């Protein structure tokens, strides 16, 4: 049997993961699932863990679920380790979203100044986790869902004590599902080739039954009749001619770059109405956990669909399934570039379609990115590299550099003010600075 350890087990997404593991049990016999959290998350861990136990019992699957605050005890002899942690909890997210916004910059948990700080807080912890893994389960795969997932994968590839790391995001699957819905066909008939970085990924080619339909999909996306987005991003329409010119499919997060002005205006309006997305998530979570507490509940409740992480468990389970069974199917994940995308460093983490084998994901050759997007992707990669260096060294000037070169931070002087205020606000979680 397989042993999976999920760090950040108190996450409201855990029932989704457990539902997936139950569905995949025949192909992926997980006998042990260890849910790990920290003292701040103890109550959530217990509520979610008890629901998970009811779910496997109801499904009649022989999976043992363990709840613990002792990460090292859990990691021993694990086969797969998944991470879904939020360092500083939702209050830190709200800070990431609101300080930049106060200075007129996008406030987003994985992009711009917010993404930088989420990375600075989280990279030291993920590197500690790799130390424990090297000691306690050196053969295990680390499947990291924690954001910023691309930057964290880069950090582990460059500084981690293990090499078997995969960054996972639900954006590519979400795009594929939306395309299938738009074309009114089953998603099994759709194949999308992906290339770029996490939350900066493009669908470069779309195939329906093996025939390329990229231009039709772009036209539909520009028609204003359908929108491709995630629950956490407003689905503002793309300009039809812009998409026609771009020739590849942007991801929902590209709106922060190509619709910068509109997205900033929207964020400022939302701030007045309901607060940042983090504040909205706090409310959704409160309601979710009330539902999770119900001792008669033994399935994943529908309210979870209000979170941005739709299809997360599908993505995680099919990835683990394909590694375990050496499936050699194609899935988009974050891995070491190894030359797949020309123009990005060999050692950089990229989000790209890969063949999933028992030895991990093998990125498919992309070649050069189209000239229209190459510069932006390279710039974000430079930002991520500097952010990783800043997180590891605690060097103020590297952090300032990462902040200021980010395309969503449009002033050196204001960037520095945001940096200083955020360093102070997050002091407790930034011991390296
Ligand atoms: P959450 O606020 O529920 O946090 C999950 C758990 O992590 C909490 O119970 C918390 O106590 C715990 N935690 C915090 N620090 C920890 C540590 N050092 N060790 C162990 N546990 C720790 O968060 P969530 O909304 O479920 O999201 C979890 C993470 O997943 C976030 O980083 C989020 O950005 C990310 N996420 C990623 C994607 C993706 O596409 N990759 C999608 C959704 C969420
Ligand atoms: C999307 C992204 C995640 C992101 C999440 C936010 O699905 O892929 O990386 O963290 O949504 O969702 P939330 O409900 O927390 O705002
Ligand atoms: Mn994501
Ligand atoms: Mn310095």
- Strand segments (E) across 337-381: 341-342, 349-357, 360-363, 367-368
- Examine the pLDDT at 303 and tell me if it is beyond 90: no
Pocket probe mutation, ligand 2, options 84, 109, 230, 253, max atoms within 8 Å of Cβ: 230
Is the predicted pLDDT of residue 305 greater than 90, yes or no? no
Using the mean position of ligand 3's atoms as its centre, give its distance from the Cα of residue 309 in Å: 7
In this model, does residue 180 exceed pLDDT 90?
Answer: yes
Mean pLDDT of 382-399: 98
What is the distance in A from the centroid of ligand 1 to the CA of 348? Answer: 24
Q: Quick one: which atom of ligand 1 is closest to the CA of 144?
A: 41
CA atoms of 420 and 426, how far apart (whole Å): 10
Rama region for 56: left / alpha / beta (φ>0; ψ in -120 to 50; rest): alpha
Q: Who's near 392: CB < 8 A, 6+ residues apart? A: 123, 124, 127, 155, 159, 432
Rounded (5°) CA angle 51-325-212: 100
Residue indicated by tokens 């606000």: 425
Beta-carbon count within 10 A of 377 CB: 21
Task: Give the separation between CA 28 and CA 194, rounded to whole angstroms.
Answer: 26
Q: Is residue 301 pLDDT above 90, yes or no? A: no
User: Of all atoms in ligand 1, which is nearest to the CA of residue 90?
Assistant: 2
Give the pLDDT score at 146. Answer: 98
The mean pLDDT of 238-247, rounded to a whole number, is 98
Is 396 noted as a catalytic residue in this protein? Answer: no
The single residue listed with the structure tokens 């990462």 is 402
For the cut 90, the answer to whether the pLDDT of residue 122 exceeds it is: yes
Per-residue pLDDT band at 202 (split at 50, 70, 90) = very high
The mean pLDDT of the chain is 97
Burial (CB < 10 A; 0-12, 13-18, 19+), residue 89, is middle
| Mean pLDDT within 410-423 | 98
CA–centroid distance, residue 85 to ligand 1 (Å): 3
Percentage of residues in the chain having pLDDT higher than 70? 100
Contact 90, 282 (CB under 8 A): yes
pLDDT score of 126: 98
What band does 310 get if pLDDT is binned at 50, 70 and 90?
confident
User: Is pTM beyond 0.90 here?
Assistant: yes
Question: Quick check: CB of 297 below 6 Å from ligand 1?
Answer: no
Report residue 42: phi and psi, to 5°. -60, -45
């Amino acid at each position: 049997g397989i042993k999976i350890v999920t760090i950040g087990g108190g996450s409201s997404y855990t029932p989704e993961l457990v539902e997936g593991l139950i569905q995949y049990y025949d192909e992926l016999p997980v006998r042990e699932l260890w849910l790990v959290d920290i003292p701040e998350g103890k109550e959530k861990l217990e509520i979610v863990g008890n629901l998970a136990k009811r779910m496997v019992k109801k499904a009649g699957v022989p999976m043992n679920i363990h709840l613990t605050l002792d990460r090292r005890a859990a990691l021993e002899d694990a086969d797969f380790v998944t991470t879904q942690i939020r360092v500083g909890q939702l209050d830190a997210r709200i800070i990431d979203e609101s300080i930049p916004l106060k200075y007129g910059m996008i406030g987003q948990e994985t992009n711009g100044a917010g993404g930088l700080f989420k990375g600075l807080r989280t990279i030291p912890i993920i590197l500690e986790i790799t130390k424990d893994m090297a000691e306690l389960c050196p053969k295990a795969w680390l499947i990291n869902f924690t954001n910023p997932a691309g930057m964290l994968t880069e950090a582990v590839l460059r500084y981690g004590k293990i090499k078997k790391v995969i960054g996972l995001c639900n954006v590519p699957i979400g795009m594929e599902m939306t395309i299938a819905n738009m074309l009114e066909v089953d998603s099994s008939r759709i194949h999308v080739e992906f290339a770029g970085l996490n939350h900066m990924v493009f669908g470069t080619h779309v195939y329906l039954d093996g025939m390329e339909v990229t231009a039709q999909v772009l036209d539909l996306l520009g028609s204003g009749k359908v929108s491709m987005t995630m629950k956490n991003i407003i689905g503002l329409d793309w300009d039809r001619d812009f998409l026609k010119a771009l020739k590849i499919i942007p991801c929902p997060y590209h709106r922060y770059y190509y619709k910068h002005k509109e997205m900033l205006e929207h964020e400022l309006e939302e701030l007045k109405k309901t607060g940042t997305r983090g504040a909205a998530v706090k409310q959704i979570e409160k309601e979710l956990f009330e539902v999770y507490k119900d001792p008669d509940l033994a399935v994943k409740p529908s309210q979870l669909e209000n979170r941005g992480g739709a299809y997360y468990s599908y993505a995680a389970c099919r990835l683990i399934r394909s590694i375990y069974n050496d499936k050699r199917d194609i899935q988009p994940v974050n891995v070491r570039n190894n030359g797949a995308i020309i123009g990005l460093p060999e050692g950089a983490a990229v989000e790209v379609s890969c063949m999933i084998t028992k030895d991990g994901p093998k990125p498919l050759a992309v070649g050069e990115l189209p000239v229209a997007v190459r510069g932006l992707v390279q710039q974000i990669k430079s930002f991520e590299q500097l952010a990783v260096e800043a997180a590891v060294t605690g060097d103020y000037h590297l952090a300032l550099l990462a902040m200021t070169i980010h395309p969503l931070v449009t002033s050196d002087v204001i960037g520095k003010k945001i940096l200083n205020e955020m360093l102070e606000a997050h002091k407790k979680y930034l011991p390296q600075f």
